[in-house]
Structure 1
Amino acid sequence: MSDDTRRTRRNVLRTSAALAAVGGLAGCSQDESGARSTDGETEMNAENETDGTSGTDSGTPSETTTAAESSYSVAIEPMGEVTFESVPETWVANNGSWADMGIALGQEPPKGLWLPSRYHTHYYDEIPDVSVDKSNMATLSQQGSVGKEQFYELDGDVHIIDPNFLQNRFDGWDQTDVDEVSEQIGPFFGNSIFSTGYTWHSEYRYYSLMEAFEKLAAVFQETDRYEAFESVHEEFQNALAPVVPTRSERPSAAVVWGAGDQPETFYPYTIGPGTSFKHLRDLGVKDALAETDVKDFHTSRGAIDYETLLEVDPPALLLRGQETKTADEFRDTVVSYMQDHDVAGDLTAVQNGDVYQAGPLYQGPITNLVVTERLAATLYDHDGELFDRQRVSDVVNGDF
Structure 2
Amino acid sequence: MDPTPHADRSRRAFVTAGLAAGSATLAGCIGTTDSEPTADGDSYTVSMAPMGEVEFDSVPEDAFVAFPQYADMAVALGHGDAVTTLFAPDMSGATMNTYYDRLEGVSFEWAGLENPLADGLEEERLYALDSDVHFLDPSYPVKTDDDWDAATIDDIADQIGPWVGNFHSGVHSEPAAEYADSYEYYTLWELFERVAAVFREKERYEALAEVHADLRSHIESNLPPESDRPTVARVTLGDGQFYAYHLNTPGYWQADTRPLGARDVFADRDWERDWGTVGYEAMLEEDPDVLLHLWGITPRYAIGNVRKRLENDSAGSRLTAVQDDRVVPGGMRYQGPLMNLFQLEMTAKQLYPEQFGEWPGYEAGESYPEIPADERLFDRQRVAEIVTRGP
Report Cα offsets for 1:174-216 as digits up to 9, x if no partner.
Answer: 1232122112211112222324233536541111111111111
Match of 1:230?
Answer: 209
Tell me the SS of whatever aligns to 2:322: helix
What is the one-letter code of the residue matched to 1:379? L
Q: Does 2:333 align with 1:365?
A: no
Q: Does 2:303 align with 1:330?
A: yes
Tell me the SS of whatever aligns to 1:83: strand
Q: Does 2:159 align with 1:184?
A: yes
Q: CA deviation at 1:378?
A: 1.8
Q: Distance in 2 between matches of 1:362 and 1:225?
A: 21
**TM-score, length-normalised on structure 2?**
0.84
Contact 1:12/1:83 (CA < 8 Å) preserved in 2?
no
Counting only pairs closer than 5 Å after superposition, residues 173-322 of structure 1 correspond to structure 2 as 173-192=148-167, 193-200=169-176, 203=181, 204-258=183-237, 264-271=240-247, 272-291=249-268, 294-296=269-271, 298=273, 302-322=276-296
Q: CA deviation at 1:325?
A: 4.9
Higher relative contact order (CA 8 A, sep 6+): 1
Counting only pairs closer than 5 Å after superposition, residues 95-134 of structure 1 correspond to structure 2 as 95-109=67-81, 110-116=83-89, 117-119=91-93, 120-121=95-96, 122-134=98-110
Match of 1:41?
Answer: none
Match of 2:312?
Answer: 340
Report Cα offsets for 1:90-132 as digits up to 9, x if no partner.
Answer: 1112311111111111102421134333452122112111111
Match of 1:45?
Answer: none
Q: Distance in 2 between matches of 1:106 and 1:286?
A: 37
Counting only pairs closer than 5 Å after superposition, residues 369-380 of structure 1 correspond to structure 2 as 369-380=341-352
Q: Distance in 2 between matches of 1:157 and 1:323?
A: 32
Q: Distance in 2 between matches of 1:95 and 1:11?
A: 24
Q: CA deviation at 1:288?
A: 0.8
Contact 1:318/1:357 (CA < 8 Å) preserved in 2?
yes
Q: CA deviation at 1:15?
A: 0.7
Q: Distance in 2 between matches of 1:256 and 1:55?
A: 38
Contact 1:194/1:276 (CA < 8 Å) preserved in 2?
yes
Q: CA deviation at 1:321?
A: 3.3
Q: Does 2:18 align with 1:14?
A: no
Match of 1:168?
Answer: 143
Tell me the SS of whatever aligns to 1:14: strand
Q: Equivalent pairs: percent with the same residue?
A: 35
CA separation of 1:326/1:258 partners in 2, compared to 1, >3 Å: closer, same or farther?
closer
Contact 2:171/2:250 (CA < 8 Å) preserved in 1?
no
Match of 2:369?
Answer: none
Contact 1:258/1:321 (CA < 8 Å) preserved in 2?
no
Contact 2:86/2:113 (CA < 8 Å) preserved in 1?
yes
Contact 2:16/2:158 (CA < 8 Å) preserved in 1?
no
CA separation of 1:325/1:185 partners in 2, compared to 1, >3 Å: closer, same or farther?
closer
What is the one-letter code of the residue matched to 2:86? L
Match of 1:78?
Answer: 50
Q: How many residues align?
A: 353
Contact 2:231/2:289 (CA < 8 Å) preserved in 1?
yes
What is the one-letter code of the residue matched to 2:281? E
Match of 2:384?
Answer: 393
What is the one-letter code of the residue matched to 1:251? P
Q: CA deviation at 1:398?
A: 2.0
Report Cα offsets for 1:36-56 as digits up to 9, x if no partner.
Answer: xxxxxxxxxxxxxxxxx9863
RMSD between superposed Cα atoms in Å: 2.4
**TM-score, length-normalised on structure 1?**
0.82
Q: Distance in 1 between matches of 2:299 and 2:13?
A: 44
Match of 2:124?
Answer: 149
